[in-house]
Amino acid sequence: MLLVLVEDDSGAVSGASREALALAHELATKLDVPVHAATFGTGEFTTTLSAHGASVLHRIEGPFADDCSPEVRGAALGELIRSAGATGVLAAGSEWGNEIMAHAAARTGEAFASNCVEVDAGREWSLTRVRGGGMLLEEAELSGAVKFVSLVPGSVEPTEVTAPGEVATESFVPEHVDDLVHSKLVERTTSGTGASLATARVIVSGGRGVGSAEGFASLEELAGLLGGAVGCSRVATNSGWRPHSDQVGLTGTKIAADLYIACGISGATQHWVGCMGAKSILAVNTDPEAPLVSRADYAVIGDIHQILPAVVERARERKKEVQGAV
Amino acid sequence: MKVLVCIKRVPAPGGKLSLTEDGTDIDTRHLGFTIGPHEECAVEEAVRLVAEHGGQVTVLSAGPPEVEEQLRYAMSMGANAGVLVEQSAQDPEATARALAEAIGTLESEDGPFDLVLLGNESADAGNYQVGVRVACSLGRPVVGGVKGVEVGAEGTDVFLRRESAEGIEVYQAPLPAITAVKEGLNLPRYPSIQGRLRAKKGPVRTLRPEVPQGGLRTVRLRQPPEKSKETVVLGYGADAADSVVDLLVEKGMV
């Protein structure tokens, strides 16, 4: 049986988890085994699971509501894997997914291939995973009684099956997590305001060319107008212009926006691997030879401090025209 | 308090990485090396914790004998001693076993480390699991993705802060504990001349644990496909504003 760890996104199966389900179905068909799902969430997932060909949903219950540590969740998942007899475990390669998979793999003493983009099942599993945030691809063989794999979000089509079946729900209460030495969640603050970098549709991002913390005002304005988020390069955080939580890159956030507007960012490898997941990139830079300008889909050559205010003004006018027309 | 930091020697970030002829590894002949950015913050944090609470910082690295260069750098930032764990296997299970075994050896001589810091994921392989595996085999609590470390008033617990998709989470873990940290935790210092001189003479011992390979075997590395299409230049200077807005409208952003 192949088990998919399903992430709860406001009561629904997360998009990245649906991709993991689709891949699990493909591998399970080849191996001639069923697909089960496991979750710590409380959403009604069975319709989606059925559409992806899963036959059983294991609800892992116990003190897992909201205040639970990654150690306990990982151990609980590990216990389910053993008791239900999974031979492969798949999850989305989100921070959350990778952490719990690492715990479950460590507890069961099995190997874990994180951030895969292609997986083929056999006695050993052949896979391709991303290294260094995407600077290189690694082809690898995964062996062991239970194979753990996480998938880079967006690497598989979340295809649905042609003949959906029934999904049985079973509850699983782990027995061996009480004596575990673990951390506990003591505080949680929800930021809530504005679009987050990881999920924003459009990101306006600035680098060395912005020149100062104040220089980000026009980026904020454009992002606000487009309903997007503001990002930055490592230079901007290291210069103290922006908080690290705004950083796009290898050691910051990896984004998957529809449009990434890079202002005054030359595009070192460290930054490129963070923004290459965007569907389109628009680079605004004084240097037509900057690496990000050559890698971008669109470019404007010139000073961002002249270009951005003009873009904001024209976009405002266009918005008014459209509203006027309606 | 006794703090241990595990660091990794990784290729210095820069241009495109070249591969060896057989494609099984990175061609390192013309490369500079550095400490991974997450681990550099881990060293900085350890040095600050010890400055505040007293104690010792030990820095440890698994890899070829050349990792001594990164150990000495960490010592120039303020770590007191270095441990070189000579090891050729690079898969995450073998690395974690080597680290756990080395930590066991050090602790059997001098007692437990109150806190072990690692990077959340290495800058090159990025397996996202070594810290968790080390914690699991030592039976200690571990929190990953951490951007804030604070020792409790009693000195028996540590508070670990991280960002999640929804906001900020703070975990409390009893010491001894392990944490995998991320860049953004602090701004690492630039080593002073005195620090560099001290690091040259500081003690570095070598351990050679024998560990079996894990179940993830690298077959070969390859370059990701490059985008081959041309960049569309929308214009020059403020005159390009109209074309940019056209693009924004086309993408449904305005």
pLDDT at B134 over 60: yes
Residue A300 falls inside a structural domain: yes
For residue B193, the distance in angstroms to the closest alpha carbon of chain A comes to 22
Which pLDDT belongs to residue A218?
95
* Nearest 10 degrees: Cα torsion A121, A165, A7, B140: -60
Chain B residue whose CA is closest to A94 = B165
Averaged pLDDT, A134-146: 94
Averaged pLDDT, B218-232: 85
pLDDT at A64 over 70: no
Q: For chain A, how many residues are written?
A: 326
CATH of the domain at A310: 3.40.50.1220
Instruction: Verify that A144 and A209 share a domain, yes or no.
Output: no
Which pLDDT belongs to residue B2?
98
Closest CA to A237 of B75, B182, B144, B49: B182
Instruction: Verify that A112 and A259 share a domain, yes or no.
Output: no
**Probe site for chain B from A9, A14, A87, A131 (most B CB atoms < 10 A):** A131
Which pLDDT belongs to residue A80?
97
Instruction: Verify that A167 and A226 share a domain, yes or no.
Output: no
For residue A43, the distance in angstroms to the closest alpha carbon of chain B comes to 17
Instruction: Verify that A166 and A236 share a domain, yes or no.
Output: no
> Is A183 within 8 Å of B173 when comparing Cβ atoms?
yes
Query: In chain A, which residues have their Cβ closer than 8 Å to the Cβ of B219?
Result: 126, 139-141
Query: In chain A, which residues have their Cβ closer than 8 Å to the Cβ of B224?
Result: 130, 134-137
Identify the structural domains of chain B with CATH numbers, from first to last.
2-207 (3.40.50.620)
Interface subset of A 86-115, CB within 8 angstroms of B: 94-96, 98-99, 101-103, 105-107, 110-115
Beta-carbon contacts of residue A203 (< 8 Å; ≥ 6 apart):
A197, A223, A228, A229, A230, A231, A248, A255, A257, A259, A260, A261, A278
Closest CA to A219 of A207, A208, A206: A206
Interface subset of B 173-232, CB within 8 angstroms of A: 173-174, 177, 182-184, 187, 214-224, 227, 229, 231-232
- Which of B17, B38, B129 has its CB closest to that of A102? B129
- Which of B96, B222, B247 has its CB closest to that of A137? B222
Which pLDDT belongs to residue B7?
98
Instruction: Verify that A46 and A160 share a domain, yes or no.
Output: yes
With cut-offs at 50, 70 and 90, classify the pLDDT of residue A62: confident
Residue A311 falls inside a structural domain: yes
> Is B93 within 8 Å of A140 when comparing Cβ atoms?
no
Quick one: angle between helices B193-201 and B68-76, nearest 10?
A: 130
For residue B147, the distance in angstroms to the closest alpha carbon of chain A comes to 10
Percent of chain B with pLDDT over 70: 98
Instruction: Verify that A116 and A221 share a domain, yes or no.
Output: no
Residue A197 falls inside a structural domain: no
Chain B residue whose CA is closest to A321 = B254
CATH of the domain at A63: 3.40.50.620
Residue A35 falls inside a structural domain: yes
Structure ipTM:
0.92
Domain extent, residue A140, equals 2-172
Instruction: Verify that A87 and A146 share a domain, yes or no.
Output: yes
User: Which of A123-132, B7-16, B20-29 shows the highest mean pLDDT?
Assistant: A123-132
Instruction: Verify that A20 and A158 share a domain, yes or no.
Output: yes
Averaged pLDDT, A156-161: 92
Instruction: Verify that A221 and A278 share a domain, yes or no.
Output: yes
- Structurally, chain A folds into a number of domains equal to 2
